[in-house]
Amino acid sequence: MRVILSLLSISLLFSVRAQTPARATPDVVLTSIGALTIQPIVHASLVLSTPNLTIYADPTGGAANYIGIKQPDVILITDIHGDHFDLKTISAIRQPNTILVAPKAVADLMPDSLKDKLIILNNGDRVSKLNISITALPMYNLPEDPQSRHTKGRGNGYVLGIGGKNLYISGDTQGIPEMRALKDIDIAFVCMNLPYTMDINEAADAVLAFKPKIVYPYHYRGQGGPSDVATFKKMVEEKNKNIEVRLRNWYPVK
């Protein structure tokens, strides 16, 4: 009987491991409200969690991508494109009390079933919920053009205030003046993929302007494949040793 139980336990363990998707190892940063866990998921998707709060940013790829992660208290959505606004995934992972935060362009595409806990933020708007602050920032292509992939005012980047730390999530953008003017950012997630956002040179120049303490290159695969984030790291850290660039795998093999 003991042998049978042991075999069942081993079988169950391997089953759970098989179901859990491949992910980068999460990072942990200490805050005034406890440890903040930073979990890369894929491309623009990430999860931020403290002991009492879990935030999903741009969740995509289906509910299977989030197996083993606490259910979201807040879901942030930056833009209308499918690598940021995945209606199927949001519908699958959202809980009755989950707060959705999105720009109006995204809200206009949502079914009524998702709007009971929806907060619409325009560029420059700020809201406080669940002991965190959320500020919406512009994200757009340069030069400004009505035909560009990302027009000013449609999507949001976000600055989150969590336990005394300020986190910046860029969304799809170039090194715009609003990014370069940021102050007191502890952790930044900065995109860099052509032709949708910017190259590593522009991203490095912008990061050196606003000087986050820690920066994660994310959203770094474009039409030509992954951007050279190792060179980005070298460019930033050689010019400012007080900025730590953390390279993590945002494109795990499935």
For residue 232, give the 3-state DSSP assignment: helix
User: Is the pLDDT confidence value at 39 over 50?
Assistant: yes
Question: Computed from CA positions of residues 212, 242, 250, 62, in that sequence, does the dihedral angle turn out positive or negative?
Answer: negative
User: Is the pLDDT confidence value at 164 over 80?
Assistant: yes
Is the model more confident about 253 or about 223?
223
- The domains of the chain, with CATH numbers, are 24-245 (3.60.15.10)
Q: Which residues contact 76 (CB under 8 A, 6 or more apart)?
A: 55, 56, 57, 58, 101, 102, 134, 158, 169
Stated pTM of the model: 0.91
Q: Phi/psi of residue 9, each to 5°?
A: -65, -45
Whole-number pLDDT of residue 6:
45
Q: Which residues contact 145 (CB under 8 A, 6 or more apart)?
A: 151
Sorting pLDDT into bands at 50, 70 and 90, what band is 18? very low
pLDDT by residue (tens digit) across 87-109? 999 999 999 999 999 999 999 99
User: Is the pLDDT confidence value at 11 over 60?
Assistant: no
pLDDT by residue (tens digit) across 56-99? 999 999 999 999 999 999 999 999 999 999 999 999 999 999 99
| Section 45-66 average pLDDT | 97
Dig out the tokens for 251 from the structure: 């494109």
